[in-house]
Structures are given as C-alpha cells and as structure tokens.
Amino acid sequence: MLLSFAIFKLSNMNFSELAEYYNKLEQISSRLAMIDILTDMFKKASKEEIRPIIYLTQGVLSPPFEGLETGIAEKFAEEAIARATGYSREIVEDEFKKTGDLGLVAEKFVKEQKIKKIETKPFSIIDVFNTFRKIASISGEGSQKQKIDLLSGLIANANPLEARYIVRFALGELRLGVGDATILEALSKAVTGSRDFKEKLEQAYNICSDLGKVGEVFFNEGKEGIENFKIQLFSPIRPALAERLPSGKEIMEKMGGIASVESKYDGFRAQVHIDKEHKRVEIFSRNLERSTPMLPDIVEAVLKELDIKNAILDGEAIAYNESVDEFHPFQETITRKRKHGVEKVSEELPLYLFAFDILYLNDEPMIEKPYKERREKLEKIVSGKGRIRVTDRIIAKSPEELEKYFDEVIEKGLEGIVAKDLNAPYVAGARKFTWIKLKRSYKGELSDTLDLVIVGYYLGKGSRAEFQFGGLLCAVYNEERDMFETITKIGTGFTEEMMKDLKEKLEKIRVNKKPARVDSLIEPDFWVEPKYVVTVRADEITKSPLHTAGKGIDGSDTGYALRFPRIVSNGIRPDKGPNEATTTKEVIEMYKMQKKIEIKDNT
C-alpha cells in the first residue's frame, strides 16, 4: 500500500537546502551536534514536508515493511549520470572505480558537465521525493529505461551537491549515519524545545514502526496526537525482547516466585496480521520487513484455522516434522526466506507457526493487558491441531520446576526457555525483565551468541589475499548513546563463499572516515556504514583497553571484548538491522553472568 501526501501549501524548503544539511551531517563526528543540525532542519520544514524529509533522511521511500525501493542498480545510475552530464558511460565507470562512491562521481561530473544546463526552478523536497516514488512504482517491460530517464532528469537539473545525494539515495547508500533514536530526539527538540519528549515519540514509533508517520502526527497534532497513538492492522509493532539471566533461581527471584515458562524455538520471528473478514494476511520479520510471499503455508493456515475477525499474533515460524516430533535447525528453516521456488520448498520443508503472544484481537488492542490474559485469549483461538500452534509451556513456581522443564526442552533439541511475568504488558520495542531467556550452554563457550554490527573490515593476507578480505571489526549497540561501540575483531569462521559475499556487500557501504555513530579506538583498513549484523560465538567476555563497548560505565578505562570470537550461521543475518544487535547493556549482564558461573564452578 503506497502512501499519499497532500500538499496544502507551497513547499518551504528546496532540496538544495536539504542537501546542505546532509553535507553538514556528513562532516561531523558528534552525535549531539548531529541532533542540533537535524533539529534546525526539522524546524524549517512545513507540516506537509516533515514526513518525506524523515523518510529521505532514513534513506527510504516509506516504512521498511512496505518494501518500496527505487530498484536502481549501479549500472543504471552510471548510465543516468552519463546521460545527464554528457560524459561516456566508460568515463563514469572509471571514475567510480577510483572513488567507490557514485554520489561523488555525480557531483564531480555535474560540476564539470558538458551539456548546457537549462534554467529551471529549484527542486522542492516534495518534487524529488515524488519522483523517487514514481521511479520505485515502475515495473514491467521497459521499466529500466524509464527509471534511468527519470533519474537522469533529476541529475541534469541538480546542482553538484544535490546530485551527490540524489544518486546516493537512488542506490540506498545515503551514508549519513543518522539513527532512528537521533531523529526522535531531534523531532522532540524541534517541536518542544527539549529532548524530553523523545520517550513518548519512541512509544508511538514502537507501535507503528513508521517514523515518518510519527513525525507527521507530531507536527500536525502535537503532544496529544502522540499520546493518543493507536495500534493499526498491517502496521507492525516493534517486537518485545527478552533479557538474560544465568540460572532458574535468579529468574524465579526476578519473577516473584511464579512465571510462565515457554519453550524457545530456533526459527525466525513472525508477526502475523490477519484480517479474516477481507481475507488479508501480512507477515513481518524480526526487523519488520514484509515476509508474506515467502510463507504461503502460514498465510493459508491462519485463514483456515482461526475463527476470528482480525488479530495480530507474535510467534516463531519453524520447520517441523510432526510425524516424529522433530524441529529442524535454524539453518534449514531460514532457507524458506527466499523469493523464488517458494511453493516447491514449502512442500519439502513445511513451516509451522508457534504463537506465543497476541497483540490485537477483534478490533481490540491487547498489549496493555497482562500476559496471563493475553495467553488465555491466544489459547482460545488456536486449536493446536494444524499449522498454527501455541508454544509449549508450564507455570513454574520454583527454580527446580523451571530447570527440570529447561532440561526437557534441551533434550528435544530446542534452544532453551523464555520465562514471562504473568502480570506484565507486552513491552513493544524494548528488552525488559518481563521476559527472561535461558539458553543451553556449550563447553568452553558463552551460553549465548551475540549479534554484532559490522563497522569495518580488513584486507586479506596470505591465503586470503585473493579475496581482498581478511576479517571484520564489529560492535555492539549502546541504546543510551545511540552509538555502536567496538567489541571484537573477527578473523575465523568464514567460508570462501562468505568472504566473497562480505567483500561485495561491504565495498558498497565503505566510507572514507569513521561514521559519526561509531565509537572506536581501532582503525580498520576500511570503515563501513553500520548496516549489517552477523552472529558470533565466543569463549568468554573479557575486559580490554582496546575496545569501547561499555568503556567508562563502571568507572574504569577499559571496555569489554570477546575471547576467541568466530562467525556462526551463514554470515550476515537477513532478519536483523543494526539497532537490533546485542546491546552494551546485554554484554555487561553476560559478563556478570559468566563470572557467577565461574564462581559456581569453582565451589
């Protein structure tokens, strides 16, 4: 579903002004300075412009769950630059090889263009935004030529700086380093004069996952509009996340002596929005991308099996062999997330949805209701005899009951358990002790993996020289600072195929200096925009003066690092974005848990 933007008055800002703001953002390394620049930018925006400005600053045309993309590849952009400036495609390509940034190539050739420029009125922000939306909507025969023509038209009429950001945006490589939390703080400051309203804005964002919509409501309706924000079908809710504790005893103490203890399934998170009345189903992944076309068996099952008007379920989709009660490993389940050959694979590897929560039912929001009430509603609508099941669980009243159930779950080959506070609401978009996970331990390893953000990479040496890839510099996410803090360099666990894939992807997001939201004492061979997440296993977390993760939090000058880190799974995680990576706070908790386990082992 595409969004429409009504223009009630003439645009207040030209695109050239927006490009100047983007240039300022690129030049700074202070997040507070970044907030000030964004605040000034938002203050100059009209109520009609704020939504497209937020999307453009995020580097998107709509919220990610709508999946609207320009569809411009590098070769198309090279052709558009050549046409707009009068240079040959070969010259444009040669310059791109030198700089690695087609935005800078466009800027250079617009400055030195061979074609006489026709005088036109300056672009408005809405002009540029709507042109990009038109580019994204074109499909079918002849679409490539139409896309190139429209992009070429934008570049031809742009000034050099505008051309830089037009081309970068078209390729999905804006390189501003602006995070959602930073945008929320700047919005708060622009409207109220302080950053204090950021928490309320974040709550609204957590239940709609659409930052542009939040900004538009805030600019048009003020604080009241944000405080009255409602859940809507087909706008995904940012998922609740679980904290960690190392033992049943500590979990039960935190839960007050009683908890719902559920099996933790190693599949992929699926938030399922169902409008049975109109036979519409949409499924969103952990990072809120639309996964519906890849899961036709789940779509069919919810329409067939659930006797409801509408609902939003939260659950885990996993490949399951019912005849032998066997769950397939994550590596097999994730192969279902593909765009081609879906029908054939769904027959060979059928998916089941194991629902563990209900967030909306028959036009009624459920997230503020206590978990025990939500679970009762869920069990009433799910029969458990088809493809839609509820997660297995017990009500534990002692650490012994919890740990006995945990052992049974591990024996079945599952990941572990999640203990839930029976009286807690659903905490969208946050990690709280209302949900606590306990996962299986591995000899000589941490009891859990970490999801880390790639912030840099190294050239290959020796046997890896041919791949021009030798390893990664990775970071965790500090939610309080909205910064990525380094925790490890990784040089093991890569297959040849993985190295080639990583090099190809990382080259496209390479930047010339450390991104503003990266805190690092280490200099890799190449910096990259924080975009991709990898899953890592390590033997332990240690203190280190070389890394910035958690540095200074406990009053010391040392940060946290990983001992013997190695890549697991299939490299980059397609279902997680950088802000969903393991947090600094989690690393500190894991370090404390590890120390407790060491003490127990020594007694």
Q: Is 358 helix (H, G, I), strand (E, B) or coil?
A: strand
**DSSP assignment string, 34-98:** HHHHHHHHHHTS-TTTHHHHHHHHHT-SS-GGG-------HHHHHHHHHHHHT--HHHHHHHHHH
Q: Using CA atoms, how far apart are residues 358 and 591, in angstroms rounded to an integer?
A: 33
The SS3 assignment for 436 reads strand
Interatomic CA distance for residues 542 and 579, integer angstroms? 23
CA dihedral (292, 298, 303, 307) in degrees, to 10, reads: -130
> Each residue of 94-115: b (16+ CB within 10 Å) or e?
ebbeeeebbbbbbbbbbeebee
| Residue 264 annotated in active site | yes
- Pick from 269, 252, 433, 479: nearest CA to 355: 269
> In this structure, are residues 419 and 393 in contact, taking their beta carbons and an 8 Å threshold?
no
Distance CA 532, CA 165 (A): 22
CA distance 459 to 129: 38
Radius of gyration of the chain (CA): 25
Strand partners, 321: 326
Q: Which residue has the tokens 């009609």?
A: 48
From the list 255, 259, 260, the residue with the least C-alpha distance to 392 is 260
Give the CA count within 13 Å in the CB-facing half-sphere of 175: 29
d(CA 339, CA 291): 9
Q: Which of 189, 198, 264, 439 is catalytic?
A: 264
Contact status, residue 263 vs residue 421, Cβ threshold 8 Å: no
Enzyme catalytic residues? 264
